[in-house]
Chains A and B, each alone.
Chain A
Amino acid sequence: MKYESQKIAQNFYTFAVLLFLVQVLVGIIAALQFIWPDFFPLKFNIIRDLHINALVVWLLMGLMGATYYVVPEESQSELWSIPLAKFQFWATVVAVTAVVLGYIWMGFDPQANKFVAGTLLLNEGREYIEAPRWADWLIALSVILFLINNFMTMYKSKRWTGIQGTLLGGLTFLALMYLPGMFYTKSMVKDQFWWWWVIHLWVEGAWEVIAGALLAFMLMKVTNAERHVLERWMYIEVGLVLFTGILGTGHHYYWIGTPKYWLWVGGIFSSLEPIPLLLMVWDAFRTTRKHRVVTNRLGLFYATSHAIFNFVGAGLWGVIHTLPQVNKWTHGTQITTAHGHLAFYGAYVLLVMSMIYITLPLIRGVNEFNTSRGYRSFWWMTISMIFIVLTLTGAGMVQTYMERLIGLDYVTVKATYNFWFWALRAIFGVGFLYGAWLFVIDFFKLGKEPVEVTSTATETVA
């Protein structure tokens, strides 16, 4: 770490990893509610709102922290304003806490979610963007302050690099794509149409652009690869992400009441979406093979795993059900849940973790740290997640066959035929929780324990 202001990243990382733990804990409650719907005082909808909102917020916090690390380094100057960054951090923490308390309140008293001045007070009742309108404005304000701080840093240093330009471009795109979720439409069709602008153009657009930029940064950081080569491939990757991903939004417009031409547009472009993700995997391996000097093996391990599981989870598990001919039968089944879990884990959970493992030792000023807990955490989480995804895929196939093709009742299939899939998913969820717990412990202890002789972070591979 060269600049004092990069330390602010640690605040964001800390809040992120704590929310991650909350996300996994409530995820296990939700998994058990598939078997016993009434066992917990808060019902499934509230638990799920907490599960997916904690996910979105902790990933955003992680990406913000990572950006606060990258921008001073790339601009070769201190951050424009540290007090502003601190204010932005604490304001976000307060807003997020208020939203969470609101969800819990509503869980105990559904009638508390009243209309005030035309908008709902506690929960907007729209998947992923449940946060009420007043919180939307606070989130938007926080993101704007964050963007101003980073743009001013770049502007004052007059040093524009491809990596930080792409990173900030992705983050600006992310901020703009929050807006289509902030108005009411009377038509449920239009509601879902604009809602996909937010959801799809985030996870299959802006966030993947951010991932491409951070991957290039991480590879540069842990190997001695040349910047211009990494940036060239980055432009190709994020270019292909947007060339395929923007019109790929069409795969959400097959069955929601939108015109038929979306079947063609969505089918063709979304089928191409895995290509840039495969390029990222190739990029990670090519860079590692070519540049044998690795300064942080655990960090590189996480970064490469992120590239692989981004391709498998977001790419392969997405493409299997993206053609309209297939999607007609699988739309709205557990196949989507399986895809969602592996995609978020591979594309974004591992991305934020690899950024943490690469930048946190530098923030804490250590060259070497114990890596064994980091590897153990990875294997507990990854193996558990693979099995969670396999059980959900199995449940989705059973559901598609029995409910959609044969015509059995939804409740019958869920309660009877898929029982063991739910049970196994909950068990593997506990395995994932253990891995996440190891990671959080490692986060707090990294660089503060004596380094064991057998485990070194800095190594030159012959």
Chain B
Amino acid sequence: MSNRGVRNLFVFGSLFFFVIFVALTFDTMKRLDKRAPEITAEVDEGKKLWHKYDCIGCHTILGNGSYFAPDLTKVTVNKPEGYLEKFLVNPKKVKSTAAMPALGITPDEAKKLVAFLDWVSKVDTNGWPPKPVLATFRMPQTPGVTVYQKYGCSSCHMISGVGGTSGPDLTKVASRRPDPEWHKRHLREPSALVPDSAMPAYPQISDEELNQLVDYLLTLK
């Protein structure tokens, strides 16, 4: 083939693939709105704040961005909203080891950011991020462990290396806090015992569940 022929193959071949790409783009744009919830004014405000504070300079979202801080695609599923709202306003006050600086986010802005993040968590992402293979870690299946898992305690707390780091590590919680009555009051209303606590209250736990959970916590020495 002459050079002119090869050149034409390059030019028209590339155009051919670009046209297919544009066609797929049109098709995708038509389908996107059905794959995500409606965007309210609050969600849009939250997205603008997301850009204003350059959140993507540290975090990833939908897996894209920086790799310095946790991915936020499903953060509202994994963390209580009240916790997130307090954390955003002053991260180090809520969790002393947090790497995130206080950016001057107001409580109102925090609410909007959480609304935006909640919208993102409901996007149909073809199953990403996948559930970890060993998501349900092996623990003795006592009634207390069942309650611990039912209320998602491990999304913020860690036991023996497994679980989140937003709240204190519970591996040896019974050594620090041996009093069952303290735990019962704390679970019902954390901020009554720990000032500035960002942990949500759990009034919905039944008395029986509360006893089982505290029995379990007291085994952690």
By a beta-carbon cutoff of 8 Å, the part of chain A in contact with chain B is 33-34, 37-38, 43-46, 48-49, 106, 110-111, 113-115, 120, 123-127, 130, 162, 186-193, 228, 231-232, 235-236, 238-239, 242-243, 246-247, 249-250, 252-263, 265, 328-329, 331-334, 336-337, 403-412
Contacts and interface: CB of A to CB of B under 8 A. Distances in A.
B161 A408 contact: yes
Contacts of B141: none
Interface string B99-127: 10101100000000000100110011111
User: Which residue, B21, B61, B71, B163, has most C-beta atoms of chain A within 10 A?
Assistant: B21
B10 interface: yes
A328 B36 contact: no
Interface of B: 3, 6-7, 9-10, 13-14, 17-18, 20-21, 24-25, 27-29, 31-33, 35-36, 39, 43-44, 47-48, 50-58, 60-71, 99, 101, 103-104, 116, 119-120, 123-130, 132-135, 137, 158, 161-165
User: Which residue, A110, A191, A257, has most C-beta atoms of chain B within 10 A?
Assistant: A257
B53 A255 contact: no
B57 A48 contact: yes
Contacts of B58: 43-45, 48
Given A124-B51, A247-B20, A331-B63, A186 B44 contact: yes
A406 B132 contact: yes
B14 A49 contact: no
B2 to A, nearest CB: 9
Interface of B is mostly: mixed
Given A405-B134, A407-B135, A410-B70, A110 B13 contact: no
User: Which residue, B3, B39, B62, B123, has most C-beta atoms of chain A within 10 A?
Assistant: B62
A71 B119 CA distance: 50
Contacts of B53: 110, 113, 125
B135 A265 contact: no
B35 A125 contact: no
A49 B158 contact: no
B14 A189 contact: no
A243 B17 contact: yes
14 contacts: A45-B56, A45-B58, A130-B54, A187-B39, A189-B35, A228-B3, A238-B10, A243-B13, A252-B64, A255-B125, A255-B129, A403-B132, A406-B132, A408-B161
Contacts of B70: 410-411
A193 B64 CA distance: 11
Contact of B124 (A188, A249, A254, A257): A257
User: Which residue, A45, A126, A130, A246, has most C-beta atoms of chain B within 10 A?
Assistant: A45
A329 to B, nearest CB: 7
A449 to B, nearest CB: 42
A384 B31 CA distance: 46
Contacts of A113: 52-54
Interface of A is mostly: helix
A115 B101 contact: no
B28 A49 contact: no
Given A49-B57, A232-B3, A404-B132, A246 B67 contact: no
Contacts of A126: 51, 56
Which 3 A-B residue pairs are closest in the complex by CB-CB distance? A45-B57, A407-B132, A125-B51
B14 A246 contact: yes
A256 B133 contact: no
A94 to B, nearest CB: 23
Nearest to B9: A239
B32 A235 contact: no
Given A45-B66, A331-B63, A115 B48 contact: yes
Contact of A256 (B7, B63, B99): B63
Nearest to B66: A48
A324 to B, nearest CB: 8
B54 A255 contact: no
A125 B161 contact: no
B45 to A, nearest CB: 10
A407 B10 contact: no
Nearest to A257: B123
A290 to B, nearest CB: 18
User: Which residue, A44, A258, A265, has most C-beta atoms of chain B within 10 A?
Assistant: A258
Contacts of A262: 24, 28
A404 B54 contact: no
A111 B99 CA distance: 19
